[in-house]
Structure 1
Amino acid sequence: MTTANSSPPAREQVYEAFADRSRSFSDAVTTALSAGCDRLGLSVGFLTEITDGTQYVEEAVGGHPEIRQGAECPLSEAYCRRTVELDGQLSVQDAAASPEIADAAYDRFGLGSYLGSRVVVNGDVYGTVCFADEAQRNEPFTEAEELFAELVARLVGRAIERRAYERERAEQTARLAAEKRRFEGIAENSFDVLFRIDTEGRFTYVSDAARRILGYDPDTLVGDAFADYLIQTTAADALDTFDGLLSGDPVQGLELSFEHRDGSEVVVEVNATPITDDGTVTAVQGVGRDITERREREQELRVRTRAMDEAEVPITIADASEPDNPIIYANDAFEAVTGYSQAEITSQNCRILQGPDTDPEETAQLREGIEEDRPVTTELLNYRRDGSPFWNRVTITPVQNDDGEITHYLGFQQDVTDGKRSERLIGLLNRVLRHNLRNELTVIQGYTEFIDDPPPDTDIAASIRRPLDRLLDLSETARELETYARQERYPVRLDPAAFLPTVAASLRSAHPSATVSVTVETDRDICAGEELQRAVEELLTNALEHDPNPETTVEITARDQGEWVEIEVRDDGPGIPSMEARVVETGEETKLQHGKGLGLWLVNWTATRYGGSFQIAGGDGTVATLRLPAITDDQSVEAVARRPTVLFR
């Protein structure tokens, strides 16, 4: 162990080192560490910074190979591990025997004696100031020696605080100087107007851009009130904002209308901040940008957007730059047709409208047009948000930017369900009339062979009249169905408790032996057309006339089913053939399966025309079910009415 050196006094050396502002921080610390080693009779002194469990040696004296500037080690392997945890100093006379020193630390550094004090900077532990020697001490460190180490640590902590403060001031000064240079450069070259205004609202500085934006020489503006150059309609808002600036409130994005020297209006977007001195606002500075053209473009865009918003045709815009081309815009008509709001469709792909019966060939045609960057139009069977199918004529047009890159896809959807329904209905009428006409004429032709020599007990005239009557009935139903198809769709509020008993009563008089009962288990009305009454009459007629037993029983029930009212017509007759029911429900006829009449098609047409559905099942009697939109007393017809759904897929 070296002998402590008391001359010159170590305490004075330490004070002088940190009091001399001409010295660098590193020089002051190493001087203090050297004085401490002499004072304590130890060979090693060092300052550490401890961050995230690691000890970094910032300054060191004494030449220990593991304790040099820049060295680092885990705190768990350092003598300072316990030092930072203590309020006072950690003094160790014999490190090999001390429980305060970890074996890993002793093995790494081999120091026999140690005196350390933590360094606190702005209330937080920064690191440690330590003195040590490879030899152990014969005597413990005295209180005076411990106080000396604490003194060095405190002075080092203050020096670190002062260093941080000086660095911050230097950085702030550099920032201010850079800001000044930047401001001066901007003022000379900026496309925008830079300005300063005194507390009286007069210009004290205006950059050269005022010449281009307002037509005035900047020097002529200095000394004038800024309000003198405003369009009067914006002057009041500008003066209110100026009062706020004088109260210390900055302003951003304020749009003011100035009068150009030639008398035209110039719209300027102003950002301004108050300039303060000791908390008092002494002036206002800011920047003004000419946004006249932008406002005009925005106005044009608003007009175009409003036109799209209010268009009756559903319109969507998809982002071509994003994977899967997500929708970024949909107008109100899109929601009216599909049921999806803009919020629900945004970020989705229009594939959300596809469903189980959407034709993959048509979707492939649409996809090919998009991939080839060309406009494409196709008709798809799509599905609304409530699951109801509709025919959609889709047109996709790519939109290019000025560089010729495709940035968006403009989509137009057109609900062509009505047209498709009429088209399919005409096809149905042709098929049924052709099929039944051929069959009935074949029957008539067969009976004509017996006109000259009729079989016994056979009324040839009656046999011929029956298929003729069936053809006349069929043609009448076809004419009626065609008439309904051509009529304007007109949904109204129908009370099932009113019209169902009326329809039932009209059929009872024609079938006095039959039993027709009506049960209404709902207090809601039905949103549909007046032709619904004819559809229910057709169901009752089928039930009564197709049962050979004149005492047939028919039950009519109206009940709630969620958003719908269901009308069920149930009879105890022989039941509709399964083939006939399947043809009516699916709308699909084959060479081996044909509907015999058009009455049930009329029912199907009516239900689907108002967004409902129709099902019919045979078996023990026949059960026909009409499902139609329900409407309460406080709802309007317009709010509840549904668009037509697909008649035949």
Structure 2
Amino acid sequence: MQSVEYREQIYDILSDPTKSIATRIDDALDVGVDYLDVSIGFFTRIEDDVQKIVQSTGNHTLIQPGETCPLDDAYCRRTIEIESPLAIQDADASSAVADSAVETFGLGAYIGARILVKNEVYGTICFADTESRETDFTAAESYFVELAARLVAQALEQQSYERELAERETEINTKEEVSRALIDASFDLVFQIGSEGQFTYVSPAVEDLLGYSADDYLGQPFTSMLPDQSTIAVAEEIYESVMAGETVVREYFPLEHRTKEQVLVDIRVTPLYSGEVSPEDRTPADIVGVQGMARDASGRHHRYRLIRVLNRVLRHNLRNDTNVISGYAEMLRDRLEDEDAAYARKIIETTERLITLSETAQKLESNLEAPPEIEIVDIVPLVVQTVNQIDEQYPGASISVHTPDVAMAKSAPRLEAAVWELLDNAANHAGAAPSITVTVRIADEQAVIQIKDDGPGIPADEKAVLLSGQETPLEHGSGLGLLLVHWIVESLGGELTVRDSEAGACVEIALGRTGEPSSE
């Protein structure tokens, strides 16, 4: 079985909502042990500098469920401190593992990744063997472990969310007003719909979620919150089911913001019974309306989409390019003559493409997971610094920069990655000696970064990736760097524009601003 098939298998296992998390993790550990050709797999919980084995596979006496040890004596001590997986070919020769850990556990080879739940270290998922490896763990193997860690984290977050929902539903059965206050403080939207299909209550938090006040919805049909006819049809089916006595849960249900954009939420809608009927005597005839609770799921939906994009791109490109490498390697083996040098160059070129694709995918994922950190800052130093870095990397390019002394804008450190990708794209694709102009200007209430080159321009499919973040054009990975730009600018609340140009490409990033720098 190839590495991509193992990744698909681990994704299917850990994303299966029909199985318990414990069962999913057990199955994932078995797949990992098989794929990595090791004898031990384990899932840990780390609290108060203590490592506890929660689940495991293998016969190691100290790596069994319930076993604990000080974190300083564990192989996972270094794992939780770094973002990428920790891969160790020979523990005896590695400085990343404490001597006490090697003496205690006697593991020769180890690879593990940290699990973050709500941006906090929860534990690790690891694979190991008592014998050291003859070769390093590959990039594909490291990505497999990292993917497993992220999927376990998502499953744990979903479990926590479902537990919170269950707890809130229990509270609702006490006092209506107390319950309503608790829910309003815990959810992005709470609403009640009467038997005539009109809103009888909408929590004040709706203004933050959808841009309208609660009073705007009161007395209106529940369809007024929905974006289109297909969504209305689904909502009407949900309403009928709840009025018949069912509780309905939906993920990524679309609502309409005041700006006409869609907001995806997770909703839970339950029957609202007459208070005159005791719980044990309730029937659908006693239902007087429905009560719903919703949480903004847009961020999580973006992360899920990104994982799917990364999986598809890596699955397609790594498979195809690896086949190219294998093909040329076989030709080199069979034809050790003058043509060998040309084949070797082909191998190097293909490998470089794989490395570039992998690095860009990693940057895309890390930037998506980065906290907002949006501040009003001067973006001129960031732009100038990025231009200088590109100038050093591409000495054949001619880059001119035009900026005001100060340009305050809503920004974050990840803006540098977006500017870098656009400049790198221009330097790579605008010819042997490209001419690039970078301009920063103040326009109305925005600070605009314009990057213009004299190359052939941006192809239509890649332009779609840049402007809308569409996934389809990434089938062959051509626009992954541009997708990174789209995600970053969107996360900063900015706007991307591709301007018409007589020759080459002209891309603008527009960011909101608030005027002059503070005196601090």
| Conserved 8 A contact 1:440-1:471 | yes
| Conserved 8 A contact 1:316-1:327 | no
Residue from 350, 353, 368 that aligns with 1:470: 353
AA aligned to 1:316 is V
Match of 2:198 in 1: 325
Per-residue CA deviation, residues 163-210 of structure 1 (Å, 9 max, x unaligned), is: xxxxxxxxxxxxxxxxxxxxxxxxxxxxxxxxxxxxxxxxxxxxxxxx
1:395 aligns with 2:268: yes
Per-residue CA deviation, residues 431-485 of structure 1 (Å, 9 max, x unaligned), is: 1112221332243244335421557696221221011011112112222323333
Deviation at 1:413, TM superposition (A): 1.4
Distance 1:544 1:364, change over 3 A: farther
Residue from 166, 182, 194 that aligns with 1:307: 182
Match of 1:610 in 2: 492
Structure with greater proportional helix content: 2
Per-residue CA deviation, residues 276-328 of structure 1 (Å, 9 max, x unaligned), is: xxxxxxxxxxxxxxxxxxxxxxxx7765554344x04123333414x441353
Match of 1:534 in 2: 417
| Conserved 8 A contact 2:493-2:511 | yes
Map 1:622-641; keep pairs closer than 5 Å. 622-632=505-515
Distance 1:558 1:413, change over 3 A: farther
Per-residue CA deviation, residues 354-390 of structure 1 (Å, 9 max, x unaligned), is: 3369756754553443453532221223342234433
| Conserved 8 A contact 1:327-1:350 | no
1:543 aligns with 2:426: yes
Residue from 299, 307, 311 that aligns with 1:430: 311
Deviation at 1:501, TM superposition (A): 2.2
Residue from 242, 245, 249 that aligns with 1:377: 249
| Conserved 8 A contact 1:577-1:618 | no
Query: Is there any run of 5+ residues in structure 1 with no aligned partner, and where?
Result: 1-299, 636-649
Looking at structure 2, the residues matched to 423 and 363 of structure 1 have their Cα atoms a distance apart, in angstroms, of 24
Per-residue CA deviation, residues 592-626 of structure 1 (Å, 9 max, x unaligned), is: 95332522222122122334454557984223343
Residue from 218, 238, 260 that aligns with 1:346: 218
**Structure 2 residue matching 1:468: 3-state secondary structure:** helix
Distance 1:551 1:628, change over 3 A: closer
Looking at structure 1, the residues matched to 339 and 479 of structure 2 have their Cα atoms a distance apart, in angstroms, of 32
Per-residue CA deviation, residues 251-294 of structure 1 (Å, 9 max, x unaligned), is: xxxxxxxxxxxxxxxxxxxxxxxxxxxxxxxxxxxxxxxxxxxx
Looking at structure 2, the residues matched to 541 and 354 of structure 1 have their Cα atoms a distance apart, in angstroms, of 42
Map 1:155-554; keep pairs closer than 5 Å. 303-304=178-179, 306-309=181-184, 311-321=185-195, 323-332=196-205, 334-355=206-227, 362-363=234-235, 365-378=237-250, 379-403=252-276, 405-451=286-332, 452=335, 459-519=342-402, 525-554=408-437
AA aligned to 1:393 is D
Looking at structure 2, the residues matched to 509 and 591 of structure 1 have their Cα atoms a distance apart, in angstroms, of 31
Deviation at 1:565, TM superposition (A): 4.4
Looking at structure 1, the residues matched to 447 and 374 of structure 2 have their Cα atoms a distance apart, in angstroms, of 15
Distance 1:607 1:455, change over 3 A: same
Looking at structure 2, the residues matched to 382 and 524 of structure 1 have their Cα atoms a distance apart, in angstroms, of 36
Match of 2:80 in 1: none
Match of 1:249 in 2: none
Distance 1:551 1:337, change over 3 A: same
Looking at structure 2, the residues matched to 496 and 592 of structure 1 have their Cα atoms a distance apart, in angstroms, of 30
1:567 aligns with 2:445: no
Looking at structure 1, the residues matched to 391 and 471 of structure 2 have their Cα atoms a distance apart, in angstroms, of 34
Per-residue CA deviation, residues 124-162 of structure 1 (Å, 9 max, x unaligned), is: xxxxxxxxxxxxxxxxxxxxxxxxxxxxxxxxxxxxxxx
AA aligned to 1:307 is L
Distance 1:488 1:496, change over 3 A: closer
**Structure 2 residue matching 1:624: 3-state secondary structure:** strand
**What is the percentage of aligned positions where both structures have the same residue?**
27
Per-residue CA deviation, residues 395-446 of structure 1 (Å, 9 max, x unaligned), is: 2223122345433432211111221111111111111112221332243244
Larger Rg: 1
Identify which of structures 1 and 2 has the higher relative contact order when contacts are C-alpha pairs closer than 8 Å and 6+ apart: 2
| Conserved 8 A contact 1:524-1:631 | no
TM-score (norm 1): 0.45
Match of 2:462 in 1: 580
Query: Is there any run of 5+ residues in structure 2 with no aligned partner, and where?
Result: 1-174, 278-285
Distance 1:520 1:489, change over 3 A: same
Match of 1:112 in 2: none
Deviation at 1:540, TM superposition (A): 0.9
Per-residue CA deviation, residues 64-85 of structure 1 (Å, 9 max, x unaligned), is: xxxxxxxxxxxxxxxxxxxxxx
Per-residue CA deviation, residues 533-565 of structure 1 (Å, 9 max, x unaligned), is: 111111111111222231322333444466x54
Looking at structure 2, the residues matched to 592 and 482 of structure 1 have their Cα atoms a distance apart, in angstroms, of 15
Match of 1:259 in 2: none
**Structure 1 residue matching 2:476: 3-state secondary structure:** coil
**Structure 2 residue matching 1:509: 3-state secondary structure:** helix
AA aligned to 2:416 is Q
| Conserved 8 A contact 2:438-2:449 | no
Q: Which moved more, 1:465-474 or 1:349-358?
A: 349-358
Looking at structure 2, the residues matched to 592 and 601 of structure 1 have their Cα atoms a distance apart, in angstroms, of 9
**Structure 1 residue matching 2:413: 3-state secondary structure:** coil
AA aligned to 2:288 is T
Looking at structure 2, the residues matched to 383 and 307 of structure 1 have their Cα atoms a distance apart, in angstroms, of 25
AA aligned to 1:391 is L
| Conserved 8 A contact 2:437-2:453 | yes
Per-residue CA deviation, residues 18-42 of structure 1 (Å, 9 max, x unaligned), is: xxxxxxxxxxxxxxxxxxxxxxxxx
Question: What is the RMSD of the two structures over their aligned residues, measured on CA atoms?
Answer: 3.5
Deviation at 1:352, TM superposition (A): 3.9
Match of 1:4 in 2: none
| Conserved 8 A contact 2:436-2:451 | no
Distance 1:550 1:483, change over 3 A: same
Residue from 486, 504, 508 that aligns with 1:621: 504
- How many correspondences in the alignment? 332
Residue from 592, 597, 600 that aligns with 2:482: 600
Looking at structure 2, the residues matched to 503 and 432 of structure 1 have their Cα atoms a distance apart, in angstroms, of 27
Looking at structure 1, the residues matched to 265 and 181 of structure 2 have their Cα atoms a distance apart, in angstroms, of 24
